[in-house]
Amino acid sequence: MKRLPVLLAFLWLACILVGCRPIVAPLDDAAPAFLPGEAGVGDPVFPLLGNSGYDVLHYTLDLNVDVQRNVISGSATILAEATQPLSAFNLDLLGMTVETVTVNEAPTIFVRDGQELTITLTEPLEARAPFTTVVVYGGAPEALADPELDFISQGWNWRDETVFVVSEPAGAMTWYPVNNHPTDKATYTLRITVDEPHVVAANGVLVEEIDHGDQRTYIWEMAQPMASYLTTVAIGDFVRVETQAAENVLIRHYFPTNEVEQLSRVFANTGEMIAFYSDLIGEYPFDEYGVVVMPFALGFALETQTLSVFGPEMTTEGVNAHELAHQWFGNAVTLARWDQTWLNEGFATYLQRLWLEHKLGREFLDKGMRQYYTMLAGASAPPPGIVQEDSLFSISVYERGAWVLHALRLKIGDELFWEFLRTYYARFKDGVVTTDDFIATANEVSGQDLTEFLNAWLYDVEMPPIPE
């Protein structure tokens, strides 16, 4: 038994005598005001991408895909946590027809306007309250055509009875409702049902296949956080090829049926590359890796998490190293804002060169970097530090971006540079970074103030001189 303390007994008596209103009223005044989340996270390039007011923890996409007609139907179940007292919130979704939306099993009112799906909560949510949203939807997804980025049709693509998803930077919202910005990473379950004999490849680990006779469900789990632009699904006539695992990482590639032998040779050293990068940077961040090669040309490859998408014309050792290196820098450590793409591409480009250095020697690397330096300086390649939408994937972002890292290495020496790479990776793994984080880490590891030096490489119109 616990006794009521004397002071509480006194207050209780006072309450009876004078009433408790004065004590209760201030608490009422302090009650949180429930507000709607914003329709964007304020990205400098794409202000409407992402939404504020909540943080997604896990997406479960349960979709039936009619590959003959390119029609999908099903549901997205989104487990999230409110980050403020919340009365309404947005998801990003472009096209498709939304049938119903429920939050914590209660039907809600929703409104659509362009890429914004606004959901008004029947019961407002306290800050930090977890909640589950189920969006039942369907339709024929269409890739996003962005005239500023015309080399990639973003999102869900359908060609010759083959589906592939390549969403950098904004395309994820073409096929599921999403908080579509890298600052809100989440884990995923992808349950995709197709007619036999189509094969479904997606991010993460294939945990189950369910045979329904004419149809088959493939269940893929992405157990580590993933930015929405890195989600992928490939559906078609693919053969799964497992190769020797490296560092406890299962390697599984998906190749077009008639290209298996040739492509198996091209990607044969993927395990060796995983071991090399793991030694250099830190353990490979995910459980599996592989590539899916399309049966038609794409003009690019993309580092979709754990399963990079390749056009057949991109299947070279150098591009394989580049997309693999992105699994560390780009995927596990991701840009926080789209005007700093050099944080993804400069790193992957330089790490691709480091694989060549590993095989061909330091002299080969230095010579190659100097050739790029001359080429970039001659072409007056603009600084890579802050870019506009039409320059997200410019040569400067890749090659001047790679030179930021090479210049840092020349300035502080190999030993400190490797320590910098490992520290920066370990510190920001599973999260997002800005250029300020990069500079702060370089300063800290080197014990020098390199801000001015790095700013010159990032922001000066002219390339700085090569450090001695």
Smaller CB separation from Zn ion, 256 or 346: 346
What is the closest distance, in whole angstroms, from the C-beta atom of residue 323 to Zn ion in the complex?
7
What is the closest distance, in whole angstroms, from the C-beta atom of residue 302 to Zn ion in the complex?
8
Helices (H) and strands (E) in the chain, counts: 12, 24
The type of residue at 83 is T
Whether the Cβ atoms of residue 263 and residue 315 lie closer than 8 Å to each other: yes
Q: Is 291 an interacting residue with respect to Zn ion (CB under 5 A)?
A: no
Smaller CB separation from Zn ion, 239 or 395: 395
Interactions with Zn ion, residue window 207-236 (CB under 5 A): none
Smaller CB separation from Zn ion, 339 or 345: 345
Give the per-residue contact string, 331-360, with Zn ion (x = CB under 5 A; - = no): --------------x--x------------
What is the closest distance, in whole angstroms, from the C-beta atom of residue 278 to Zn ion in the complex?
19
Cα four-point dihedral sign 408, 412, 418, 422? negative
Cα–Cα–Cα angle for 149, 230, 173, rounded to 5 degrees = 65
Give bridge partners of residue 446 from the DSSP assignment: none
Smaller CB separation from Zn ion, 146 or 345: 345
Spatial neighbors of 262 by CB under 8 A, at least 6 apart, are none
**C-beta atoms surrounding 16 within 10 Å:** 9
Smaller CB separation from Zn ion, 141 or 290: 290
Token representation of residue 41: 């996270």
Spatial neighbors of 167 by CB under 8 A, at least 6 apart, are 154, 155, 174, 228, 229, 230, 231, 232, 304
Spatial neighbors of 64 by CB under 8 A, at least 6 apart, are 72, 73, 74, 193, 194, 215
Smaller CB separation from Zn ion, 302 or 416: 302
Measured CA distances, 231 to 208, 228, 243, 256 (Å): 19, 6, 23, 21
Q: Total binding residues for Zn ion by CB under 5 A?
A: 2
Smaller CB separation from Zn ion, 308 or 446: 308
Q: Give, rounded to a whole angstrom, the gap between the first and last alpha carbons of the chain.
A: 78
Smaller CB separation from Zn ion, 62 or 345: 345
What is the closest distance, in whole angstroms, from the C-beta atom of residue 85 to Zn ion in the complex?
40
Spatial neighbors of 88 by CB under 8 A, at least 6 apart, are 36, 37, 118, 119, 120, 121
What is the closest distance, in whole angstroms, from the C-beta atom of residue 352 to Zn ion in the complex?
9
What is the closest distance, in whole angstroms, from the C-beta atom of residue 451 to Zn ion in the complex?
26
Q: Where are the alpha helices (DSSP H) in 190-266?
A: 260-266
What is the closest distance, in whole angstroms, from the C-beta atom of residue 345 to Zn ion in the complex?
5
Smaller CB separation from Zn ion, 93 or 301: 301
Smaller CB separation from Zn ion, 146 or 399: 399
Spatial neighbors of 164 by CB under 8 A, at least 6 apart, are 157, 232, 233, 234, 235, 236, 292, 294, 309
Measured CA distances, 85 to 28, 35, 53, 68, 119 (Å): 15, 6, 8, 45, 15
What is the closest distance, in whole angstroms, from the C-beta atom of residue 351 to Zn ion in the complex?
10
H-run or E-run covering 358: helix 342-360
What is the closest distance, in whole angstroms, from the C-beta atom of residue 109 to Zn ion in the complex?
41
Smaller CB separation from Zn ion, 103 or 376: 376
What is the closest distance, in whole angstroms, from the C-beta atom of residue 331 to Zn ion in the complex?
11
- Pairing of the two strands 109-113 and 97-103: unpaired
Give bridge partners of residue 188 from the DSSP assignment: 59, 222
What is the closest distance, in whole angstroms, from the C-beta atom of residue 322 to Zn ion in the complex?
5
Give bridge partners of residue 246 from the DSSP assignment: 249
Which residue in the shown chain puts its C-beta closest to Zn ion? 348
Task: Summarize as ranges the residues that interact with Zn ion (CB under 5 A).
Answer: 345, 348
